[in-house]
Amino acid sequence: MKTSVAICTYNGEKFIKEQLDSILEQTVQVDEIIVCDDHSTDQTRKILAEYHSKLPEVFKIIYNEKPLGVIKNFEKAVNLCQNEIIFLCDQDDLWKPNKVETVLCYFKNNPDKEAVFHDLELLENDNILKSSNWESIYFLPENTDGIGVQHYLFLFGNITTGASFAFRNPKKKWNFNASSTLLLHDYQLAMHFAAASTLGFLDEKLGVYRLHDNQQVGTDQNNTQKRKVIYDTFVKSSNLEKLKYYEAKSKYWKSKLNADDGKKVVHFIKRETDILKRKHLQSLTLIQRNYTSFYWALTNKFQIKT
- For residues 145 and 164, what is the distance between their CA atoms, to the nearest angstrom? 21
Q: Do 194 and 153 form a contact (C-beta atoms < 8 A)?
A: yes
- The reply to whether 226 falls in a domain is no
CB-based contacts of 127, cutoff 8 Å, min separation 6: none
Main-chain phi, psi angles of 127, to 5 degrees: -120, 135
pLDDT at 169 over 90: yes
39 and 118 share one domain: yes
- The reply to whether 15 falls in a domain is yes
88 and 119 share one domain: yes
Range of the domain at 248: 237-299
pLDDT tens for 242-268 read 888 888 888 888 888 888 888 888 888
Residue at a domain's end among 193, 221, 249? 221
- Span 71-85, mean pLDDT? 97
Q: Which pTM does this prediction carry?
A: 0.87
How buried is residue 102: exposed, middle or buried, by Cβ count under 10 Å (0-12/13-18/19+)?
Answer: middle
- Span 162-191, mean pLDDT? 90
216 and 286 share one domain: no
pLDDT at 217 over 50: no
- Span 182-205, mean pLDDT? 92
Confidence (pLDDT) at 299 = 72
**Averaged confidence pLDDT in the chain:** 88
Share of the chain above pLDDT 90, in %: 54
pLDDT tens for 106-122 read 999 999 999 999 999 99
87 and 153 share one domain: yes
pLDDT tens for 5-33 read 999 999 999 999 999 999 999 999 999 99
193 and 278 share one domain: no
pLDDT tens for 48-71 read 999 999 999 999 999 999 999 999
Number of H helices, E strands in the chain: 11, 9
Residue at a domain's end among 160, 188, 221? 221
* Stronger pLDDT, 105 or 213, i.e. the higher one: 105
